[in-house]
Structure 1
Amino acid sequence: MKIAEYLKWAYASTSKKRTHPKEDQKTLKKLGLVKKEGSLIFPGDESFPSPPIGYRVTFIDHLIRGLSTPIHEFLRGLLFVYGIQLHQLTPNSILHISIFITLCKCFLGTHPHWGLWKRIFYLRHNSSRNVAYNVGGVVICVRPEVDYFDVKFPDSVQGWRRRWLYVQEEYNNSQEYNIAPFDGAAKIPRRRSWDAKATVEERTTTDALMKRIHELQNTHGEELLGVQITAYFLRIRVQPLQARKNPHWIYAGEKDVDRLSKDLSVKDLEKLIRLLSSLSKKHDVPTTCRVEPYSCNHALPENHQVLSSLPPLPEGGEVDERAVVTDDSQEPSRPESGAAGSHKSAASSEKSESDASKSVRSPPSAVSPKSKRKRDEVEDSGTSKPTDPTAEETPPEEEGAFNPYDDAGSVSSHLIKLWTQFIGYRDADEDMRENLDRAEKHAEELAAKLERSEKAREKAEQEATTVEDLRQRLHKAENALSDKVSQQIARVNAIIARLETQNRQFVRKMGEDFTLHEAEEDRLLDTLSILELHGDLARTNISDVRAAFTRLFPHFFPKQTQPQIFSELVRRFLPQEDLALAYRQENLKVGVEGTIALVADSRQDVEWAKVGNPKGMNKEKWKTLVKAAKPHSKKILAFLGHKPAASASTAKPKVK
């Protein structure tokens, strides 16, 4: 985008902060224009529209004047034939189209007719002497020779260029063409179609419609006003510039499928009508029509002819009417306000921001040198119908030239006058040069600032790329950390399960369980503490067993070295043979040998062959002999150096 064009947009649409966005949202929601979540997006801090994919740029004042998506095919055709974009139409121009479509469908009983439109309207640039606007740069005007409704548009639509937003694009019947993408830098060349007139055939076809319009205007007691047409489409809650499923002449009231919302209150309706018209609080607001519009309750007359004629759409091919006639810089500037005294087609043109003192190539100043009125207060006027664009301007009469045949006094007066004019022109030239130098310096400063802004933007984009990379890396790190944490949690849970299993096995084997009196309220630590208690118990028991095995070892393994490792010591006591049996047998052998030695020492004659033959021994006799010898066994054991322990039957408890 060129610098001057960007500055024009920035000044015209964002020279002030956006006002009351919450009130705008509330108004659009009440009017039913917020169809679903995300259908309308209000801009943030951006200074130039940058709509998301699937969205188009529009304005609050366009929406409340009948615009909605998907747009009406007649509006699509107008934009194509005239070679303009939606944002290049002023709010009052949008309202002109809404009133025309409502007039055709509700009061003429026909579709909007392209030939009838050309008989009534034409286009012109919306520009002042020094500024050619882009946003709102085209105005729809009523032809001077046509008798049309007194619409009574407001003198000014203040600050409408700053109230832009994004509307979600919708399609109807799979149509290929809809609202053209926003191009804030696009020029608006004047085209032949802007002033195209109806052909002879179109005039013949629409003569009956023009006659009916005149009847609606001039029937005594039943006159139809432009503000009444506006009030009607606002009251029935139907957007004229939206593609409808059913035509207006079969409007079904509250059950109509194309209604956007419920009926507005009388107070809200009157407030909205005053906003869109020049009616003040002193005037009564005509919320009803004197002529009953066509609807399901007021059907079209029998044999009524419904006409249909749309502007050529893109799918119909290129049309000659769109040929460029002149460029913005070639078209002579025309004041926007037009003739102030006309009462027809009120607001058929938008009031110019005529206070700009800079050229088109430089940013317009905020305050005109000739007037202290703020630009926003005169952005959009529409008080009258413009004068005939074909009329030639009468050049101003030249002042009297110098006549050498005049008398001396006349010559002197002329010389003085010429000298005075020369001095004035010279001073004015110097002032103009100084102003031009200041303007050039200001433009250079703005260009430098813009260049710095571009560099800052590029740097920000690069940093944004770096930031995005860091964000991705951070996201990957967060995912990795999350996975690591999940693995750690799973590992801790597995460890806890193993510890709990060990504790349960220990309790089953040892038969002793523990309860923590001061638990940590941590499953892992508490389980580990219980396992430590079990370990302490196991170590104590192992120490006691070791001591017992150490004392038993010499009896089971005489004349053998005792192992130092506990496991080896235990394995010595776990052979395949029965150590207790072997121990008893060994003791019996010692006893027998000791008895034989005692008998031999007694010098008694013993027949040892018979003694060694137990087969002939009588068991009962043997038991009697053992019983008789038992009182003397203590002496024998004492001799052998062994002190027998008291048996269970002879042991006596100790008395403390």
Structure 2
Amino acid sequence: MAAADLGTAEWERSKITNQDLNLLKKLGITTKPKAVCFPSEESYPAPPMGYRVSFVDHLIRGLSTPIHPFLRGLLYVYGLQLHHLTPNSILHISIFITLCEAFLGVSPNWALWKRIFFCRRNGSPNVAYNIGGVVISIRSTADYFDVKLPDSVQGWRKRWLYIREENHGCAEDNIPPFDGAEKILRRRSWDAEATEEERTSTEALMTRIHELQNTRGKELSGIQIIVYFLKSRVQPLQARKFPLWKYTGNEDVDRLSVDLEVKDLERLVRKITSLSKKDSIPSSCRVKPYSATHALPKPVIKDLLRIGAQFVGYREYANKAEEKLAEANDRANTLAQQLEQSEKARKKAESDAIDARAEADKAKADAAGVEDLRKRLHTAETSLSDHIAAQSAREEAIRKRLTTQSRRFVARTAQEFQLDEPANDSLLDALSLLEVHGSEAREGIDQAKAGLSRLFPYFFPKKEEPATFLDLAKCFNPSEDLGLRVRHENMKVAVENTVALVAHSQQSIDWSKVGDTDQIEQSRWRSLIKAAKPNTRKILAYIGIKPSSTPSSSKPEV
């Protein structure tokens, strides 16, 4: 089963730490104004105008703008973008360029590169990466340096940023525009090997590489090459004014910063390689690199004689070439005359082209205006459709509420009404029916008010007619306790009758003491009540009150 390509799903919000920022500052990468732009909250790169997407781990391994022509060529030949390459791949290219310029004394060579490196897809059987989806590897048959790279660089995909695009007087130095959705397609160039002619022309360079690695006491290692370009403070992958074999030291125009402190240099070397704290970091190279103070060696006399002898057999060819050159000059003169004659036509064609371009631009602007109007019309139509749908839903909700109110009215009044002339509109018909119910309710209320106005004076002659039924109900519900009032009235009558009977019997009683019941205990009071029952029945019967069957044991209400 083919591996799934993650594509844009790999990108997430950039997470660059203060430690990363300090490292970029020490390396001089962020010293130029606006050289670097950091993302804000976007989770997918959207580089501003004039910027390209890069990574912190690419920059600390030798990348800078404008990019080196050799790197630009590799991206073109392999069909890649910068984010397709892993940090280890970037470091391989930096080491190769440094090796060629500083230790071989040649420009980076495509034929030599093919003898040493090839490309392969990065991923697993189930997942194919887009960010870092291509790995540059050393051929198993190549006699090359052991660079001691880490197996993987943790978290490098999250440390992305924008670097300002620059050129070195040529558009070829520009980084290809960012396209995060572009899929990686394997090309034949990934596995391209050097031709027999290329192998012959680079055999001396491969021999020199073997000597650099194996000369006793002067062995050159991949770590030494890394240390050299980090100490020189020149980014190998940057297009420079001069190659490294003309490096002038601290005053070199291509340096990005001052020398790194020893601890910072060692920490950086361990960061980009697999060396641990126990491994020592070389302070210099055992082989002196070429520079302005250590110039390239001049060709030996034997090589000069060999080169000169190669031209002896070409004298006859040179004479024929002179004759052909004369013929070419005559043809060139004729063409010059024709060109001069057609100058007016060319100028007219240029003028016509300018006019046509202006008309095309105007047509594009008009088309853009029409497209904008079309989009606005589509938006308005969509908004109107949404509004109509919302209005229909609202009308349906209103109709349901009106229908519910009509059903409740019918349930309470036991009356049903039919419209004489329905509008055949559910909303209007429900509203009309509710109006009928409302008219019926208002008529009933008016009739109730009229009846109340005629009956109220008979029940409450001294009160003003209330405005609402709630006020009417309050008239029938006084605030005082009527039951208690009745009991008080009955007791008053009973006491008055009892006093009248005692007075009639002509008995002498101290009535001030009779009313003082608080001094009598509860048990005493009950015994007195019990003793008084027979006389109480007689008194109640005498005054015409039927006695209660349940005796009272409570104290009297005075």
| TM-score range relative to shorter protein | 0.5 to 0.7
1:284 alignment partner, SS class: coil
Moved more, 274-283 or 177-186: 177-186
Match of 2:84 in 1: 88
TM-score (norm: length of structure 1): 0.45
Match of 1:57 in 2: 53
* Alpha-carbon offset, residue 70 of structure 1: 0.2
Is 1:123–1:195's contact at 8 Å kept on the other side of the alignment? Answer: yes
Matched, 1:194 2:190: yes
Matched, 1:167 2:163: yes
Q: How does 1:387-406 map to 2 (within 5 A)?
A: none
* Alpha-carbon offset, residue 98 of structure 1: 0.3
* Alpha-carbon offset, residue 264 of structure 1: 0.4
Residues 64-88 of structure 1 show CA distances to partners (whole Å, capped at 9, x for unaligned) of 0000000000000000011111110
Match of 1:48 in 2: 44
Say which of 242, 263, 270 aligns to 2:266. Answer: 270
* Alpha-carbon offset, residue 29 of structure 1: 1.2
Say which of 273, 294, 299 aligns to 1:298. Answer: 294
**What is the distance in 1 between the residues matched to 2:182 and 2:71?**
20
**What is the distance in 1 between the residues matched to 2:76 and 2:7?**
25
* Alpha-carbon offset, residue 247 of structure 1: 1.2
Matched, 1:239 2:235: yes
Residues 42-61 of structure 1 show CA distances to partners (whole Å, capped at 9, x for unaligned) of 11110000101110000000
Name structure 2 gaps, 5 residues minimum: 304-374, 380-558
Matched, 1:253 2:222: no
2:54 alignment partner, SS class: strand
Matched, 1:130 2:126: yes
Match of 1:109 in 2: 105
* Alpha-carbon offset, residue 22 of structure 1: 2.4
Q: How does 1:8-47 map to 2 (within 5 A)?
A: 8-10=7-9, 12-14=10-12, 18-47=14-43
Residues 354-400 of structure 1 show CA distances to partners (whole Å, capped at 9, x for unaligned) of xxxxxxxxxxxxxxxxxxxxxxxxxxxxxxxxxxxxxxxxxxxxxxx
Residues 307-348 of structure 1 show CA distances to partners (whole Å, capped at 9, x for unaligned) of xxxxxxxxxxxxxxxxxxxxxxxxxxxxxxxxxxxxxxxxxx
Match of 2:70 in 1: 74
**What is the distance in 2 between the residues matched to 1:221 and 1:13?**
48
Matched, 1:119 2:124: no
Moved over 4 A (4+): 17-20
Is 1:270–1:287's contact at 8 Å kept on the other side of the alignment? Answer: no
* Alpha-carbon offset, residue 90 of structure 1: 0.4
Is 2:94–2:236's contact at 8 Å kept on the other side of the alignment? Answer: yes
Say which structure is richer in helix.
Answer: 2
Is 1:67–1:241's contact at 8 Å kept on the other side of the alignment? Answer: yes
**What is the distance in 1 between the residues matched to 2:197 and 2:125?**
39
Q: How does 1:551-630 map to 2 (within 5 A)?
A: none
**What is the distance in 2 between the residues matched to 1:40 and 1:51?**
11
2:267 alignment partner, SS class: helix
* Alpha-carbon offset, residue 177 of structure 1: 5.3
* Alpha-carbon offset, residue 9 of structure 1: 3.6
Between 1 and 2, higher relative CO (CA 8 Å, sep ≥ 6) is seen in 1
* Alpha-carbon offset, residue 303 of structure 1: 1.7
Q: How does 1:393-432 map to 2 (within 5 A)?
A: none
Instruction: Give the letter for the 1:50 counterpart.
Output: A
Aligned residue pairs total 301
Residues 167-201 of structure 1 show CA distances to partners (whole Å, capped at 9, x for unaligned) of 00001123245211111111111101111111122
TM-score (norm: length of structure 2): 0.52
* Alpha-carbon offset, residue 129 of structure 1: 1.1
**What is the distance in 2 between the residues matched to 1:287 and 1:153?**
19
Residues 520-551 of structure 1 show CA distances to partners (whole Å, capped at 9, x for unaligned) of xxxxxxxxxxxxxxxxxxxxxxxxxxxxxxxx
Instruction: Give the letter for the 1:67 counterpart.
Output: L
Percent identity (aligned): 65
* Alpha-carbon offset, residue 302 of structure 1: 1.2
2:202 alignment partner, SS class: helix
| Distance verdict in 2 for CA 1:146–1:110, change over 3 Å | same
1:140 alignment partner, SS class: strand
**What is the distance in 1 between the residues matched to 2:205 and 2:234?**
23
2:171 alignment partner, SS class: coil
Residues 218-256 of structure 1 show CA distances to partners (whole Å, capped at 9, x for unaligned) of 111211110110010000100000001011111100010
**What is the distance in 1 between the residues matched to 2:186 and 2:108?**
24
| Distance verdict in 2 for CA 1:176–1:236, change over 3 Å | closer
Instruction: Give the letter for the 1:92 counterpart.
Output: N
Instruction: Give the letter for the 1:86 counterpart.
Output: L
Is 2:114–2:194's contact at 8 Å kept on the other side of the alignment? Answer: yes
1:190 alignment partner, SS class: coil
1:167 alignment partner, SS class: strand
**What is the distance in 1 between the residues matched to 2:173 and 2:28?**
25
Is 1:41–1:165's contact at 8 Å kept on the other side of the alignment? Answer: yes
Match of 2:141 in 1: 145
**What is the distance in 2 between the residues matched to 1:230 and 1:111?**
18
Name structure 1 gaps, 5 residues minimum: 306-457, 463-656
Matched, 1:205 2:201: yes
* Alpha-carbon offset, residue 35 of structure 1: 3.6
Is 1:137–1:188's contact at 8 Å kept on the other side of the alignment? Answer: yes
* Alpha-carbon offset, residue 36 of structure 1: 2.2
Task: Output the aligned Cα RMSD.
Answer: 2.0
